């Protein structure tokens, strides 16, 4: 039979010391073998916490709050309220005191600047409330990475902020919402999760908002950080981070007070690309354009000429890539210095768009400052 802990040898000084040093299952044993990880474990050696932390769940909609339509594959997102989500997971009560509030009830394809602002202002207030120890945000997965990235760039926070969703609606045999919600609350309630970036928790995996991307249209392991990997894992036994928390490197912006945010269009590059979509974006009043370029943020000569013209007319041009992994670097095939372009580095087009909107909202038009924000150098 498997036993969770080796029994202590006879209580002699030498025996006890040897046990503490050698047993891989003691907390001290863990910190010896994995010096850089931080963890919160369920352990019979630790007394149960009497006062459970208060976790606020903010609901916005998505599949996690959806309803299967009964035709086998269909469902409608954002049908169930927060109390319904919480009551479907009684085990939440073992982890935390739960408070639920609704911010919106939408499929995240309808996420708007107004809701992003409202959500960020709400969280900023909660950051000041000493009774709340962590925040979980339920959200559709389609645009979750954008909301996570936005929050990570506008909220100076200490408390854990965890975003969570589901790929399979309630009512499906493989519904993943309940397990994901439980894991998200576990992470939000963990002291090891403090002073971390905004996180996405799905399917045992903890990812940071800067690098997490939706990578698969239907898989429950859809969120990944292809450039840097997850920052931790969560399962029945523990919340484990692979490295200690570090001070945030990104610039924190004021939450925009007017909506919509400055117009920034994403333009997708392809074979036989012409200037029309770029010229149209400029005509529609785009203050910035994100190129979802081929390869290292490149595009056809015709499109490149249109981008140069737009840059000369004061439109901020950021070169990102339609490729899911890697960095877009300055001055490789395209001369950014000469053309007054910005390189998106590791930000995908949709996150580059949010960052440029925040910079423009902050009246930032200095290209050196803008490049520094993309390069996370302050
Ligand atoms: N399109 C919906 C949304 O993003 C459902 C997708 C999901 O939540 O996984 O809210």
Q: Which CATH number characterizes residue 334's domain?
A: 3.40.50.40
Q: Which residue has the higher pLDDT, 360 or 77?
A: 360
Best of 69, 105, 108 to mutate for ligand 1, by most ligand atoms within 8 A of CB?
Answer: 108
Same domain membership, residue 274 and residue 142:
no
Same domain membership, residue 176 and residue 294:
no
Q: Which residue has the higher pLDDT, 79 or 225?
A: 225
pLDDT of 339: 98
- With 50 as the cut, is the pLDDT of residue 10 above it? no
Same domain membership, residue 205 and residue 93:
yes
pLDDT of 78: 79
- Give the structural domain span for 112: 54-241
Q: Which residue has the higher pLDDT, 278 or 171?
A: 278
Residue 297 domain-assigned (yes or no): yes
pLDDT of 37: 60
Please give the distance, rounded to the nearest whole angstrom, from the Cα atom of residue 146 to the centre of ligand 1: 13
pLDDT of 69: 77
Average pLDDT over residues 260-281: 98
Average pLDDT over residues 24-42: 43
Best of 59, 60, 63, 64 to mutate for ligand 1, by most ligand atoms within 8 A of CB?
Answer: 63
Q: Domain of 109: which CATH number?
A: 3.40.50.1170
Same domain membership, residue 163 and residue 274:
no
Rounded Cα distance between 85 and 292, Å, is: 37
Same domain membership, residue 309 and residue 236:
no
Given a contact cutoff of 8 angstroms between Cβ atoms, the answer to whether 159 and 364 are in contact is no
Average pLDDT over residues 268-284: 98
Is residue 333 within a helix (H) or strand (E), and if so which, with residue range? none
Residue 6 domain-assigned (yes or no): no
pLDDT of 16: 39
Residue 7 domain-assigned (yes or no): no
Same domain membership, residue 327 and residue 232:
no
Please give the distance, rounded to the nearest whole angstrom, from the Cα atom of residue 67 to the centre of ligand 1: 12
pLDDT per residue over 60-103, tens digit each? 999 898 887 766 678 888 788 889 999 999 999 999 999 999 99
Cα angle for residues 36, 38, 39 (degrees, 5° grid): 145
Please give the distance, rounded to the nearest whole angstrom, from the Cα atom of residue 227 to the centre of ligand 1: 24
Best of 75, 107, 170 to mutate for ligand 1, by most ligand atoms within 8 A of CB?
Answer: 107
In the 8-state DSSP scheme, what is residue 345? B
The pair of three-digit structure tokens given for residue 255, joined into one six-digit string: 């939450």
Rounded Cα distance between 328 and 290, Å, is: 12
Check if 141 is active-site.
no
pLDDT of 42: 55
Residue 31 domain-assigned (yes or no): no
Numbers of helices and strands, H then E, in the chain = 12, 17
Average pLDDT over residues 328-355: 98
For the CA atoms of the chain, what is the radius of gyration? 23
Nearest CA among 145, 143, 125, 144 for reference residue 135:
125
| Nearest CA residue ID for atom 1, ligand 1 | 107
The pair of three-digit structure tokens given for residue 166, joined into one six-digit string: 């589901």
Residue 19 domain-assigned (yes or no): no
Same domain membership, residue 288 and residue 139:
no
Same domain membership, residue 298 and residue 230:
no
Which residues touch 148 (CB under 8 Å, ≥6 apart)? 163, 198, 199, 200, 209, 212
Please give the distance, rounded to the nearest whole angstrom, from the Cα atom of residue 62 to the centre of ligand 1: 5
Residue 36 domain-assigned (yes or no): no
Average pLDDT over residues 207-229: 97
Is residue 193 within a helix (H) or strand (E), and if so which, with residue range? none
How many domains is the chain built from?
Answer: 2
Average pLDDT, the chain: 89
Cα angle for residues 72, 138, 179 (degrees, 5° grid): 65
pLDDT of 197: 97
Same domain membership, residue 199 and residue 78:
yes
Pocket of ligand 1 (CB under 6 A): 61-63, 77, 107-109, 140-142, 165, 167
Average pLDDT over residues 203-216: 98
Q: Which residue has the higher pLDDT, 44 or 66?
A: 66
Residue at token pair 């001070």: 247
Residue 30 domain-assigned (yes or no): no
Same domain membership, residue 167 and residue 66:
yes
- With 80 as the cut, is the pLDDT of residue 148 above it? yes
Rounded Cα distance between 52 and 185, Å, is: 12
pLDDT of 2: 36
Rounded Cα distance between 207 and 199, Å, is: 6
pLDDT band at 267 (very low <50, low <70, confident <90, very high): very high
The pair of three-digit structure tokens given for residue 169, joined into one six-digit string: 């609606």
Same domain membership, residue 286 and residue 236:
no
Atom index in ligand 1 nearest the CA of residue 78 equals 10
pLDDT of 41: 61
Backbone angles phi, psi at 204, to 5 degrees: 75, 0
Give the end of a domain, one of 206, 241, 276.
241
pLDDT of 21: 36
- With 80 as the cut, is the pLDDT of residue 40 above it? no
Rounded Cα distance between 207 and 205, Å, is: 6
Residue 10 domain-assigned (yes or no): no
pLDDT band at 31 (very low <50, low <70, confident <90, very high): very low
- DSSP H helical ranges for the chain: 13-22, 27-33, 82-87, 92-95, 113-127, 144-154, 177-188, 276-283, 301-312, 336-339, 349-361, 367-375
- With 60 as the cut, is the pLDDT of residue 231 above it? yes
Cα angle for residues 232, 85, 238 (degrees, 5° grid): 25
Residue at token pair 């474990």: 41
- Residue of 59, 63, 143, 222 marked active site: 63
Q: Which residue has the higher pLDDT, 81 or 17?
A: 81
Return left, alpha or beta for 71; rule: phi > 0 is left, psi -120 to 50 is alpha, else beta. alpha
Please give the distance, rounded to the nearest whole angstrom, from the Cα atom of residue 220 to the centre of ligand 1: 12
Same domain membership, residue 212 and residue 280:
no
**CB burial readout 230-246, b (16+ within 10 A) else e:** bbbbbeeebbbbeeeee
Give the end of a domain, one of 174, 208, 241.
241
The pair of three-digit structure tokens given for residue 145, joined into one six-digit string: 């990475």
Average pLDDT over residues 238-266: 95
- With 90 as the cut, is the pLDDT of residue 304 above it? yes
- With 50 as the cut, is the pLDDT of residue 15 above it? no
């Amino acid at each position: 039979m498997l036993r969770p802990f080796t029994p202590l040898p006879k209580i002699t000084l030498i025996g006890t010391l040897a046990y503490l040093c050698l047993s891989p299952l003691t907390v001290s044993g863990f910190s010896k073998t994995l010096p850089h990880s931080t963890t919160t474990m369920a352990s019979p050696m630790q007394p149960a916490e009497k006062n459970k932390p208060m976790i606020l769940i903010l609901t916005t909609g998505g599949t996690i709050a959806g309803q299967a339509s009964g035709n086998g594959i269909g469902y409608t997102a954002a049908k169930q309220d927060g109390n319904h989500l919480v009551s479907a997971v009684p085990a939440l009560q073992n982890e935390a005191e739960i408070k639920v509030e609704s911010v919106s009830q939408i499929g995240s394809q309808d996420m708007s600047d107004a809701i992003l602002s409202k959500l960020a202002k709400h969280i900023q207030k909660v950051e000041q409330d000493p009774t709340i120890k962590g925040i979980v945000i339920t959200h559709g997965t389609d645009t979750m990475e954008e909301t996570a990235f936005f929050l990570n760039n506008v909220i100076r926070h200490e408390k854990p902020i965890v975003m969570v969703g589901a790929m399979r609606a309630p009512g499906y045999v493989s519904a993943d919402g309940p397990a994901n919600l439980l894991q998200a609350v576990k992470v939000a309630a963990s002291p090891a999760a403090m002073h971390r970036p905004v996180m996405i928790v799905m399917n045992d995996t903890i990812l940071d908002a800067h690098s997490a991307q939706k990578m698969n249209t239907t898989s429950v392991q859809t969120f990944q950080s292809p450039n840097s990997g997850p920052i931790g894992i969560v399962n029945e036994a523990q919340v484990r981070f692979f490295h200690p928390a570090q001070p945030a490197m990104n610039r924190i912006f004021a939450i925009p007070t007017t909506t919509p945010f400055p117009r920034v269009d994403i333009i997708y590059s392809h074979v036989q690309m012409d200037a029309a979509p770029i010229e149209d974006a400029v005509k529609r009043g785009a203050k910035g354009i994100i190129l979802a370029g081929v390869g290292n943020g490149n595009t056809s000569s015709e499109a490149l000429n249109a981008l140069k013209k737009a840059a000369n007319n004061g439109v901020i041009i950021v070169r990102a890539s339609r490729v899911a992994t890697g960095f877009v670097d300055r001055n490789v095939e395209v001369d950014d210095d000469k053309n007054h372009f910005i390189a998106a580095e590791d930000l995908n087009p949709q996150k580059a768009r949010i960052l440029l909107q925040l910079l423009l909202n902050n009246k930032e038009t200095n290209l050196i400052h803008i490049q520094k924000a993309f390069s996370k150098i302050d």
